[in-house]
Amino acid sequence: MSKSVYQLNEEAKIANKTHDNKFSDFSVGSRVKIICLGQDMHFFYGETGKVIKNTGNYLGIIIQFDEPRHFKDGSIQKDFNFEPSDLLLIEQIDKYHYHEAQDRMHMMATMFDEFIHEHPAILNEPHIKKKADEVAEALGDLYQLCGSASFDFDNK
């Protein structure tokens, strides 16, 4: 016996533990995954997007899809309205994530420098030393990019 869209939606909500979601969980800018299979004769396939409006009322969370939905008739759907239980929050990035990334880059660069870049065998082979110098420079560049991204995030 086949299941109704309602039954499939309920199974998805149970599997993703979204029944207790509240409107207040979804601030504008939150990243989400749509876990419901159907809503108001529209069908969904795990699309992701961000909250662009939250009225706090029935079907009041408006999601802008990361990738607009294209239909055979040529129409394009850029956003849609959902209930909190239809959505799964994707981990939100905060300033500590950026700090952690930069800290890990520092740790990797330090380890590379101490245990590889300065190793006697590396120093003894000019062609290997040249490649190690390039890697060390790339790690330093990545560290700087992490710092720049952290600064930009803090100043949004």
Q: What confidence tier does 154 reach under pLDDT thresholds 50, 70, 90? A: confident
Average the pLDDT over 81-98 and give the result. Answer: 87
Average the pLDDT over 8-34 and give the result. Answer: 92
Does residue 40 come out as left (phi exceeding 0), alpha (psi in the -120 to 50 range) or beta?
A: left
Residue pair 153/93 in contact by the 8 Å Cβ criterion:
yes
Q: Is the pLDDT of residue 26 over 80?
A: yes
Q: Is the pLDDT of residue 153 over 90?
A: no
96-140 pLDDT tens trace: 888 899 999 999 999 999 999 999 999 999 999 999 999 999 999
pLDDT at position 15: 92
Percent over 90 (pLDDT), the chain = 69
pLDDT at position 62: 95
pTM, 2 dp? 0.59
28-72 pLDDT tens trace: 989 999 999 888 888 888 999 999 999 998 889 999 999 999 999
Spell out the residues 6+ positions from residue 28 whose beta carbon is closer than 8 angstroms to its own.
51, 52, 53, 54
What CATH number does the domain located at 5-89 have?
Answer: 2.30.30
